[in-house]
């Protein structure tokens, strides 16, 4: 039976602390962990409904217009994502890992904030926006380098728009039409952010690594994920099948609540800070 209480009630935090204190914890984090860093989530209190269909891999590789729209929107969005700093929740998770209580982190986020906070074993399930990959030669380069090239290719181009959770901005058609895309500096191939688009599969080796981390854990801690899609829920299902206790800290209900031994509906930054202080 799950329990959901306010963060002001110390009892659930004490229970969570007792679970984490035994060590061997695997973490699965979602967009809700990064909202306090200014990055909106999908379905939580800061979530914003999409006004357009998400970019698919098939559209991206098949349409020059789609690529121009994606990179224009992402170029604007990166100004916010690239400057985002880890919040108290990220720092608390990194501290618990440093103390040897957390064995590893599977994150559904593409913002790199776990690593920026000092976490070491982080598996980026959907990749990272701080890298770019060429679809022809497979060379990976930094997003910073690409942003420099895009600015040089678009002198005087300015645009702004509402930022979406996946790091792009909502722009008007006339803003997009004036944007120029650049290709791979090495071979001239198409450049794509090193993230998994809709219509792509997460690499099998990466999925296997995530399952192995969960299977070896003494407990699975879910942070800021609504678990409404299979991408994250499959790891909860795996842990439940193995009899591994599951704890969830999230604002709002999740698709894994029925499998959890403990749920906390609470802000993540203050909750995780209090958790680290109790251990």
Q: Is 41 annotated as a binding residue?
A: yes
Q: Is 103 annotated as a binding residue?
A: no
CB atoms within 10 A of CB 123: 17
CA 67 to centroid of chain Cα atoms: 22
262-265 β-sheet, strand order:
122-124, 102-107, 25-29, 219-223, 246-250, 262-265
Q: Is 39 annotated as a binding residue?
A: yes
Q: Is 23 annotated as a binding residue?
A: no
Q: Is 30 annotated as a binding residue?
A: yes
Tokens, residue 229? 């899609």
Q: Is 48 annotated as a binding residue?
A: yes
Is residue 171 helix, strand or coil?
Answer: coil
End-to-end Cα spacing for the chain: 25
Q: Is 11 annotated as a binding residue?
A: no
Q: Is 49 annotated as a binding residue?
A: yes
Q: Is 56 annotated as a binding residue?
A: no
Q: Which of 75, 114, 126, 274 is catalytic?
A: 126
Tokens, residue 134? 């060429």
Q: Is 250 annotated as a binding residue?
A: yes
Q: Is 40 annotated as a binding residue?
A: yes
Q: Is 104 annotated as a binding residue?
A: no
Distance CA 7, CA 143 (A): 38
Residues 6+ away with beta carbon under 8 Å from 174:
none
Q: Is 201 annotated as a binding residue?
A: no
Q: Following DSSP, what letter does each residue of 63-127 receive, concatenated?
A: -HHHHHHHHHHHHHHHHHHTT----HHHHHHHHHHHTTSEEEEEE---S-HHHHTT--SEEETTE
Kindly state the DSSP code that residue 163 receives in the 8-state scheme. B
| Maximum alpha-carbon separation in the chain | 59
List the beta bridge partners of residue 22. none
Q: Is 44 annotated as a binding residue?
A: yes
- Judge whether 126 counts as a catalytic residue: yes
List the beta bridge partners of residue 163. 169
Q: Is 129 annotated as a binding residue?
A: no
Q: Which residues are annotated as a binding site?
A: 30-50, 108-111, 134, 137, 184, 187, 224-226, 250-252, 268
| Binding-site residue ranges for Zn(2+) | 134, 137, 184, 187
- Catalytic machinery residues: 126
Which residues does the annotation place in the binding site for NAD(+)?
Answer: 30-50, 108-111, 224-226, 250-252, 268
């Amino acid at each position: 039976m799950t329990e959901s209480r306010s963060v002001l009630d110390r009892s659930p935090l004490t229970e969570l602390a007792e679970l984490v204190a035994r060590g061997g914890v695997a973490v699965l984090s979602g967009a809700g962990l990064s909202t306090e860093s200014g990055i909106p989530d999908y379905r939580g209190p800061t979530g914003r409904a999409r006004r357009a269909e998400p970019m698919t891999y098939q559209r991206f590789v098949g349409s020059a217009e789609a690529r121009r729209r994606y990179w224009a929107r992402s170029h604007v969005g990166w100004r916010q994502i690239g400057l985002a700093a880890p919040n108290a929740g990220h720092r608390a998770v990194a501290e618990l890992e440093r103390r040897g209580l957390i064995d590893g982190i599977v994150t559904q986020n593409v913002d790199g904030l776990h690593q920026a906070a000092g976490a070491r074993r982080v598996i980026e399930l959907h990749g990272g926006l701080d890298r770019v990959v060429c679809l022809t030669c497979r060379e990976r380069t930094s997003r910073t380098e690409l942003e420099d090239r895009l600015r040089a290719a678009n002198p005087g181009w300015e645009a702004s728009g509402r930022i979406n959770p996946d790091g792009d901005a909502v722009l008007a058609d006339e803003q997009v039409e004036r944007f120029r895309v650049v290709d791979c500096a090495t071979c001239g191939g198409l450049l794509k952010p090193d993230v998994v688009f809709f219509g792509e599969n997460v690499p099998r080796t990466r999925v296997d690594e995530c399952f192995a981390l969960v299977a070896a854990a003494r407990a699975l801690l879910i942070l800021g994920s609504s678990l409404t899609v299979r991408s994250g829920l499959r790891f909860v299902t795996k842990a439940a099948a193995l009899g591994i206790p599951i704890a969830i800290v999230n604002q709002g209900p999740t698709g894994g609540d029925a499998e959890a031994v403990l749920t906390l509906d609470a802000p993540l930054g203050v909750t995780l800070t209090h958790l680290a202080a109790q251990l």
